[in-house]
Amino acid sequence: MQDKLQALREEALTKINEADDLKALEAVRVGYLGKKGPITEVLRGMGKLSAEERPVVGELANTVRAAITEALEAKKQVFEEEALNEQLKAEAIDVTLPGRPVTLGGPHLLTSIVTEIEDLFIGMGFEVKEGPEVETDYYNFEALNLPKDHPARDMQDSFYVTEELLMRTHTSPVQARTMGEYKGNKPVKMICPGKVYRRDTDDATHSHQFTQVEGLYVDKNVRMSDLKGVLNQFAKQFFGEEREIRLRPSFFPFTEPSVEMDISCKVCHGKGCSVCKQTGWIEILGGGMVHPDVLKMAGYDPEIYSGFAFGMGPERIAMLKYGVDDIRHFYTNDQRFLAQYHQA
Ligand SMILES: [Zn+2]
């Protein structure tokens, strides 16, 4: 019986040594140490042994079992280490590979233009105001001297949300709201940039949604010459010191008198070329002295207060400044176009 145990040990240790994966190792363990294995069988047959033999065989059986268990554990550890090493090798990061470049974004060209305009006017003491894009009929039209039956409403076909609510057709309602907020006894010096909406068919120069920056200055003794001075400053800082401006008479329901401002052509300096359609001038924006009715409606006494207002389209300004030939470029989000204007 002792010989049999010794032989089992040798056999098992050889098989453990020969095992080439965890599965084979487990088969050896079940085969020799399992409930139906030969060592268990030996231990079960101990009852038949004499009282002297029993402790000797018992001790040997335990030693053999311990030896096999130890050998199994040792081999198992080798396999586990190998597996870990292989995993580490497979998951290794090659730090010498070149990285993927990170492309930096930048503000949209229109955002940059609006920010530039804001900075310029803030420098002249204007504050920046914002208002809702879904506006009431009252603020969008009536408060700006455009009663319900006014023919000028046809000039601005609008997107109505309900009878009384619409997508604002200009940022002027922000001016009306601010004057209302100041209750007719405080000067107003503001610009209001923002999106506006009109029922236009989109083409190279029209879009159903575009951007506006409007300005308003209401105080005692505000004159036409103040408007001209502010606009001249704007034109020179934005387009260059050498540019000249001129004001032409025009018509807007909320200003009287109304003007349109041109700047001298950058290409021909006023001599006439194809860019300026041979006129030597390029139209930039509209403005005028705030209509007394608009002041009155906002609670300002037109006998005491006067003011000027102007409005410009950042799209048009960007198109002129950078030679962009189609307004739709601003909205189609083609990175090839937009990335040209990202400043480092
Ligand atoms: Zn020209």
Helix, strand or coil for residue 57? helix
- From the CA of 282, how far away is ligand 1's center (Å)? 8
The DSSP code for 160 is: B
Mean pLDDT of 147-155: 73
What's the pLDDT tens digit per position in 244-275? 999 999 999 889 999 999 999 888 888 888 88
CA angle 87, 88, 92 (to 5 degrees): 120
Report d(CA 222, CA 218) in Å as an integer.
Answer: 7
CA of 205 to the centre of ligand 1 (A): 19
Q: Does the pLDDT value for residue 344 go beyond 60?
A: no
Strand, helix or coil at 147? coil
Question: What would the pLDDT profile of 160-179 be if each residue is shown by its tens digit?
Answer: 898 889 999 999 999 989 98
pLDDT for residue 155: 59
Instruction: Give residue 100 CA to ligand 1 midpoint distance, Å.
Output: 46
Annotated binding residues for Mg(2+), as ranges? 256
CA–centroid distance, 269 to ligand 1, in Å, is 6
Give the pLDDT confidence of 187-206 residue by residue, as tens digits: 999 999 999 999 888 888 88
- CA 4 from chain centre, in angstroms, equals 80
Q: Which residues surround ligand 1, an ion (CB under 5 A)?
A: 265, 267-268, 273, 275-276
Q: Ligand 1 centroid vs 113 CA: distance in angstroms?
A: 23
CA 242 to ligand 1 center in whole angstroms:
14
Residue matched to tokens 């209302």: 180
CA distance 288 to 260: 8
**pTM as predicted:** 0.68
Residue 136's φ and ψ, nearest 5 degrees, are -80, 155
Q: What average pLDDT is seen over the chain?
A: 89
With a cut of 70, say whether residue 93 has pLDDT above it.
yes
In the chain, % of residues over pLDDT 90: 47
